């Protein structure tokens, strides 16, 4: 897939000989691509991503996939830290308060298909920024359509309900890092129960148990 090369200085070698095994999806938190590109390419900002996709579907590449982009920051997933060295970061131009456009989603799906094939990234290893940093991040948020990606085998989605087990135990099993319980619940809901709010419920616990089982099965 052709992308506009728009190099960011905020990159380096992946540490410890690591290669991409995860894809982390973000939103930019900005209303337009120009502002997002400017920040992701500003040396003083010390942030970047491998790809940026505009609402119209235009695709930019800022960092070579072989390199370590600075998109994930502090956090962990399934007990592993330094997510930047383990992942490809994709930024979707979105303020956080708007739907993701159809051209943007189509371009994302095409890009993900190529990246996942190139690096043998399974759907279970496609995560939200909020998944690996629930204390700090909310993106790509409840408006993002994870079910749509799962239908195309680009992510994991679960509609089933499991048993009423302790929520935090299930979130541990899924791979969420340690954080305040309410932040972990929020990140989980953004991903698997969008728009659900309020105190923890039995429905949250049963969905989390089902997700934990699906992750276990997918990881082999």
46-97 pLDDT, tens digit per residue, is 999 999 999 999 999 999 999 999 999 999 999 999 999 999 999 999 999 9
Residue ranges of E strands in the chain: 4-5, 11-13, 22-27, 51-53, 59-61, 67-69, 87-92, 126-128
* CATH T-level assignment (fold) for domain 4-151: Lysozyme-like (3.40.80)
Output the pTM of the full model. 0.97
Quick: pLDDT tens for 129-165. 999 999 999 999 999 999 999 999 999 999 999 999 9
Per-domain residue ranges of the chain: 4-151, 167-219
Please choose, from the candidates 114, 185, 110, 105, the residue with its C-alpha nearest in 3D space to the C-alpha of residue 145.
Answer: 105
> Which of these is catalytic: 44, 66, 91, 197?
91
Answer whether residue 1 shows pLDDT above 80: no
Q: Classify strands 22-27 and 126-128 as parallel, antiparallel or unpaired.
A: parallel
Residue listed under structure tokens 């303020």: 95
Q: What percent of the chain shows pLDDT beyond 70? A: 100
Contact 77, 97 (CB under 8 A): no
Q: What is the pLDDT of residues 164-211, one digit of tens each?
A: 999 999 999 999 999 999 999 999 999 999 999 999 999 999 999 999
pLDDT at 31: 84
182 is catalytic: no
Compute the mean pLDDT over every residue in the chain, rounded to the nearest whole number: 97
CA distances from residue 103 to 3, 109, 110 in whole angstroms, order as listed: 15, 10, 11
- DSSP 3-state of 68: strand
Q: Which of 126, 108, 118 is nearest to 218 (CA)?
A: 126
Q: Is 93 left (phi over 0), alpha (psi -120 to 50) or beta?
A: beta
Residue 212 has pLDDT above 90, yes or no: yes
Tokens of 53: 């996709």
């Amino acid at each position: 897939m052709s992308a506009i090369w728009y190099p960011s200085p905020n990159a380096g070698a992946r540490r410890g000989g690591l290669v991409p095994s995860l894809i982390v999806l973000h939103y930019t938190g900005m209303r337009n691509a120009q502002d997002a590109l400017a920040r992701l390419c500003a040396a003083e900002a010390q942030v970047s991503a491998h790809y940026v996709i505009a609402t119209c579907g235009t695709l930019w590449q800022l960092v070579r996939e072989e390199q370590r982009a600075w998109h994930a920051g502090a956090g962990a997933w399934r007990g592993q830290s330094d997510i930047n060295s383990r992942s490809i970061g994709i930024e979707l131009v979105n303020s956080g308060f708007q739907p993701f456009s159809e051209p943007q989603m189509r371009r994302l799906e095409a890009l993900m298909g190529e990246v996942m094939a190139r690096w043998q990234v399974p759907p279970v290893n496609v995560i939200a920024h909020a998944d690996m940093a629930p204390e700090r991040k909310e993106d790509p948020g409840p408006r993002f359509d994870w079910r749509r990606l799962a239908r195309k085998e680009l992510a994991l989605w679960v509609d089933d309900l499991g048993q009423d087990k302790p929520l935090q135990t299930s979130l541990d099993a899924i791979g969420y890092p340690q954080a305040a319980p309410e932040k972990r619940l929020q990140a989980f809901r953004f991903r698997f129960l969008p728009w659900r709010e309020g105190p923890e419920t039995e429905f949250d616990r049963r969905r989390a148990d089902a997700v934990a089982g699906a992750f276990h099965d997918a990881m082999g």
